[in-house]
Amino acid sequence: MKNAAVWLLAFVSSVAAFSSRAQSLEPGQWQFDTVMTSPGMAKPQTNSIQRCVTKEEAADAERWTGRKLEQTDCKLRMKSKTATSASWELDCPKSGMRGTGSARIGRGTMTSEQHMTGELQGRSIEMNIKTTGKRLGPCKS
């Protein structure tokens, strides 16, 4: 399985659901933890990153993820959106993946869940991806 591509897809699609009409992240040092589970994996796979989210990036989810969804083959269709939550469907025809997801942004927190299915490298894939983010404080210099 192409783990880097899957991680990036999960992270980008979960935060791309928030546009300028939604609540933005608070600027500062953030930690994002992702857990991916799949019946085809012996154990859950985890990924954790810390990064400084600037004021400009905080207002635009595509900027703080570091990559726009349009740079992938994926199309995101919003099902619902409020100031603090969103749900969506995702279709990635070139990679053969599709799924649904939801996310919430609160004061100093971000959570998302996504369920993806499809075929990757000739194998059926089903995975669940959960990401949590928390603001740690001001950016480190």
The pLDDT tens digits of the residues spanning 20-48 come to: 445 577 899 999 999 999 998 899 999 99
- Over residues 48-68, the pLDDT tens digits come to 989 898 888 777 655 555 445
Structural domain count, the chain: 1
Rounded to a whole number of angstroms, the CA Rg of the chain reads: 15
pLDDT over threshold 70, residue 83: yes
DSSP per-residue codes, the chain: --HHHHHHHHHHHHHHT--TTSPPPPSEEEEEEEEEE-TTSSS-EEEEEEEEE-HHHHT-HHHHHTS-GGGSS-EEEEEEE-SSEEEEEEEETTTTEEEEEEEEEETTEEEEEEEEEEEETTEEEEEEEEEEEEEEESPP-
- Note the pLDDT of residue 2: 46
139 to each of 14, 54, 113, how far by Cα in Å?
Answer: 23, 8, 26
Question: Domain residues for 66?
Answer: 3-137
- Nearest-CA neighbor of 68 among 116, 8, 24? 8
What confidence tens digit (pLDDT) does each residue in 5-18 have? Answer: 555 455 555 555 55
Share of the chain above pLDDT 70, in %: 73
Report the pLDDT averaged over residues 73-92: 82
Question: Residue 120 — very low, low, confident or very high, per pLDDT cuts 50/70/90?
Answer: confident
Residue range 94-119, pLDDT digits in tens: 878 898 988 888 889 999 899 999 88
Whole-number average pLDDT of the chain: 78
pLDDT of 69: 57
Which pTM was predicted? 0.76
Token pair belonging to 68:
């726009």
Length of the chain as a residue count: 141
The whole-number pLDDT of residue 81 equals: 79
CA 27/CA 63 separation, integer angstroms:
12
